[in-house]
Homo-oligomer: A and B are copies of this chain.
Amino acid sequence: MVRIMAEKITPRSEDFSKWYQDIVLQAKLADYSPVKGCMVIRPNGYSIWELMQKDLDRRIKKSGARNAYFPLFIPESFLKKEAEHVEGFAPQCAVVTYAGGKELEEKLVVRPTSETIINSMFAKWVQSYRDLPLMINQWANVVRWEMRTRLFLRTTEFLWQEGHTCHATPEEAEEETRRMLGVYAEFAEQILAMPVIPGLKSESEKFAGALRTYCIEAMMQDKKALQAGTSHNLSTNFAQAFNTLFLDKDGKQKLVHQTSWGVSTRLIGGMIMTHSDDKGLVLPPRLATTHVVIVPILGSSPAKAQVLDKADELQRAIRDQALHANLPYEIGVEVDRDETKQPGWKFHEHELLGTPIRIELGPRDLEKGQAVMTRRDEGKKEFISLQAVPERVIHQLVSMQKELLERARALRDASTYRVASYAEFKKQLDETGGFFVAPWCQSKDCEAKVKDETKATIRCLPLDEHHNPIQESGPCLACGRGGETLRAIFARAY
C-alpha cells in the first residue's frame, strides 16, 4: 500500500477554496488532467462515488425505475428540436465533426444531458397507456464545456445518473418529480449527512426545457450554497418535439408527460465542504471503505508480538460485532502493521484520509486492559476497556453519522438570516455570507437586480407540506413591494 504523507493543509479561515483543493489533491481523491476542465477521479475518490452509487441505485430501483444505457452522441438536429433546451445547452456543447477518417454528414454533440436522444427512443417504445409509466435511469458521463472549473464541483466532464420517466397525466408527472426530490433529500441526509432544503427553482434558474425544476440546496462551511440535485417536470415539451404519443384508454392519441432528475459527482465536493476540517477529510461512515484503523504502538519484543496479536483479535471482534449489530453497510477494519512509519505519522495520514475511527493500542494499554479510541470528527481520545471496544465502535459509527448531519444542520441554521431591509441584507451577506430567507415578489427584475448587485441568487423557493412554495407576505427583498410574495432563499452559490 502506498502511504500518503500529509503536507500542510491551508486552513479554512485563510483560504477556503485553497483548503478544499488541498484536501482533494492531498487525500488523492481527484487530480487535474491534461484535458482542460476534465478531472481524473482517483481510487480514494472513486470509492466514495461507488458507495454513493450503490445506495442511490437501490433507492432508484425501489422507486420503480430500471437502468438502461443510451448513446453518448446526439445528432445536432435532435438538440434543436426543443427551443429552450438548445438555447440553454448549445453554448456548452462539445461537437464531433469527423469520425472514421471522414467528415460527418451530421455533427454529433457529446451528450450534455439525454432528454432528446432518450425521447427519440421513447417515441418508438411507448404505444399505449399499458406501456406507462415508463421509468428509466442511466448512470453515465456527460460533457458541458465550462470556463471555470473546480475539481468535483464543476468539471467539463462529470459522472451522474439521469432518470427519465413518461406518464399518462400531468398529475402523475408532477407526483414523480416531487417523489424523486424526496428520494434525493433523504439520500443526501442519510448517506452524505448533508442537510438540504428542498425547493422550487425560479423561472430563470430552471432547467432548459422544463416546465418546473425542483432542487435540493445545501450550505457549505463557507456559507455558500451548493445545488446538490435537481428534479424536473418536463410537461409535454420534449414529447411534442419528438412526438412521444400513447393511445389512451379513451382511444385518443395523447402526448406523454415527462420528468427527468439527476445527481452527479458534484456531491463528492459537497460532502467534503460540509464535513471536512483543517486536518483533512472527514468521511461520514456510510461513505467510508475503512471505518476503523487500529494503530499498534510497538515497543520491543515480546510486548510487540502481544500488541500485534491483540490488535488482530480486536479486528476480528469488531467485525463480528458489526455483523451482530446488523449494520446496513459493511465495516472495514484495518490493522496498520507498517513498521517503517511512526504512530504519529500514521495518525496524520488517517486524519487526512478521513478514517472515521482510530484505535491506538500499546504495551501499557495492554497492561491496563484498554485501548485508546478517537473519532475523526471529534478528535478527543477516549480510554475504553478492551472488551467494550467492539460495541463502542459500532455505537460511535452510528453516532458519528447522525451527529455530522446534526452539526451541519446547526451550522446552517445559525447562518440563516431573516433581514428587515435590502440594505441590511447586503451588509450581512458581505460580513458573514449565509442563507437569507426573504419574501420575493416573483418579478424577474427583482431577481436580476439582487444577482447583479450582490452575486446572490434565489437558491430555491422552500416548500410547504403540500410541496408548494410558501406564501409569505412582503415586502419583497429587492423592491419592497407586497402582494403575491413567496418565501425565497437568497445566497451566493457554487
Interface residues, chain A, with chain B CB atoms under 8 Å away: 2, 31, 33-35, 38-43, 46-47, 49-50, 66-75, 78, 90-101, 108, 110, 117, 120-121, 124-125, 130-131, 136, 140-141, 143, 145-147, 157, 159
Q: Check A38/B71 contact, CB under 8 A, given A93-B99, A100-B92.
A: yes
Residues on B with beta carbons closer than 8 Å to the beta carbon of A33: 70-71, 117, 120-121
Contact present for A108 and B145 (CB under 8 Å): no
Max chain B C-beta neighbours (<10 A), residue from A49, A71, A75, A101: A71
Query: How many whole Å from A256's CB to the nearest CB in chain B?
Result: 14
Given contacts A95-B98, A131-B2, contact A71 B121 (CB under 8 A): no
- Please, which residues of chain B bring their CB within 8 A of the CB of A99? 93-95, 145
Contact B40 A121 (CB under 8 A): yes
Give the residues in chain B near A110, CB-CB below 8 Å.
72, 96, 110
Identical chains in the assembly: 2
Q: Would you mind naming 28 contact pairs between A and B with Cβ atoms under 8 Å apart?
A: A2-B130, A2-B131, A31-B121, A33-B70, A33-B117, A33-B120, A33-B121, A35-B75, A35-B108, A38-B71, A38-B73, A43-B68, A43-B136, A46-B67, A46-B68, A46-B69, A72-B72, A90-B101, A92-B100, A93-B99, A94-B96, A94-B100, A95-B97, A96-B96, A96-B110, A99-B145, A100-B147, A101-B145
Given contacts A31-B121, A94-B108, contact A66 B38 (CB under 8 A): no
A92 to chain B, nearest CB (A): 6
Considering the complex of A and B, which 6 residue pairs feature the smallest CB-CB distances, nearest first?
A100-B145, A43-B66, A38-B71, A94-B99, A41-B69, A97-B97
Cα A72 to Cα B37 with chains together (Å):
12
| Cα of A69 to Cα of B31 in the assembled complex, Å | 10
Cα distance A91–B47 in the bound complex, in angstroms = 35
- Contact across chains for A47 and B67 when beta carbons are under 8 A apart: yes
**Which B residue sits closest to A135, measured CB to CB?**
B43
When the two chains form their complex, are residues A40 and B71 in contact, meaning their CB atoms are under 8 A apart?
Answer: yes
Instruction: Provide the residues of chain B in CB contact with A125, threshold 8 Å.
Output: 31
Smallest beta-carbon distance A119→chain B, Å: 11
Q: Report the minimal beta-carbon distance from A413 to chain B, rounded to whole angstroms.
A: 35
B residues less than 8 Å from A147 (CB atoms): 100
